[in-house]
Amino acid sequence: MKSSLWEEAHDDYYKGEFDEDTLARVQEALKVVLPASYVELMKRRNGFRCARKYFPCPEPTSWANNSVQVDFLYGIGEDPGILDSLYLRKEWGIRSGRIVLLSADPPMFVGLDYRSAGKREPSVVFIDVERKQDIRLAATFAAFVEGLESNIEEDEQQADGVVTDEQERTLRAKIDQAMEDGKPGEIDKLFTTILSTNRQLIRYMVERMRGHANPKVHLYLMLFLMCCAEGDNPGMIEDEALEDMLIGLADSRNKDVRALVEYSLEKLRKRLGNGNSPA
C-alpha cells in the first residue's frame, strides 16, 4: 500500500477549502476544463507538498537518469496556485497557452498538456526550458498521481552505460539540435545529461562540441577533457585521441581554453610518463 500523497501539515501551497466559484474563475482564466481527477483530488486537499514526489521518466533529466522530482502540486487558486501558469509561461518562454502548470521549479515544470488533447483528457508532461526537454510522463492526471513514488533509486545500469536504441536516437537528435541553435549554457547542461549515458553518446557529443564555432562551448568541453587528462573518466576517451583533441583546441580564441589545454597536455604526458606524447 502506498503512503499518503501529501505531507500531514498544511503548507504554503494549501489554498483552503475547495470552492466551485474559484474553480469556475480559474478555468475561465486558463481557458481549459481541468481534469475531473485533479478537481476531485483538490476537493480532498487543495494544494500541497508531496510526500510521494518521484515519478519515473523515460529519459535522463537534470534530476536523475530515470525520474523527475515533483515537490508540490498547485491547488486551485494563485500565488501559489495553478493560475500561476499565466505568468510562469510568459516569464519562462513556454509559448503554448495549452500547457497548464501543476508544479514549478524553474526552469523545470510539470504540467497538463492540452496541445493535442482534443476532447480527451490532457496528458502530463515534464518540461525543462533550458535543456529543451518536453517529455510525456503519463496519459492522464490520474495515472500520474498513481505513479508517484516516495523513492526511486537511480538506474545504475543506465548510469553505467546501458541506453536503449530508442533513447540513443532521441539523445543524438537532441545533441544535433543543441549544436544548431542551443546557447552555450544549454549545450553544457545537455552534456551533463549525456555524461550519464554511454561512451558512444559521450564521444559523439565531445566531437560535436569540439567542432562548435563558439569558444565558450570549447571552455565547457575543456573542463571535461581536463579531468580525462588528469586520469579521471578512465577509458572514456583514448589517450591518443584525447591528445589530438587538446592540440586541436590549443589555438582557441578563448584564453581560458588555451590555458586549460596547456595544463591538460602537461598532465596527460606526465601521467603517461612521456614528456612529448602518448605512446
Residue 43 placed within a domain:
yes
pLDDT at site 211: 93
CB 252 within 8 A of CB 212: no
Cell of 236: 572514456
Contacts of 261 (CB under 8 A, 6+ apart): 222, 246, 247, 249, 250, 252
One domain for residues 240 and 207: yes
- 44 Cα distance to chain centroid: 31
Structure confidence by residue, pLDDT tens digits, 102-160: 999 999 999 999 998 888 899 999 999 987 889 999 999 999 999 999 988 866 544 44
- Report which of residues 162 and 72 the model is more confident about: 72
Residue 3 placed within a domain:
no
**One-letter amino acid identity for 158?**
Q
Q: Domain span at residue 85?
A: 20-154
Structure confidence by residue, pLDDT tens digits, 49-89: 999 999 999 887 877 778 899 999 999 999 999 999 999 99
CATH code of the domain covering residue 219: 1.20.930
CATH code of the domain covering residue 71: 3.40.1580.10
Task: Count the domains in the chain.
Answer: 2
Cell of 205: 557529443
Structure confidence by residue, pLDDT tens digits, 192-251: 889 888 888 999 999 999 999 999 999 999 999 999 998 877 777 888 899 999 999 999
Q: What is the dihedral of CA 180, 184, 188, 191, to 10 degrees?
A: 10
Task: Assign 3-state DSSP to the chain and report helix, strand, coil percentages, each to 5.
Answer: 45, 15, 40
Residue 270 has pLDDT above 60, yes or no: yes
Looking at residue 107, the DSSP 8-state letter turns out to be: T
pLDDT at site 141: 97
DSSP 231-254: T-STTSS-HHHHHHHHHHHTT-S-
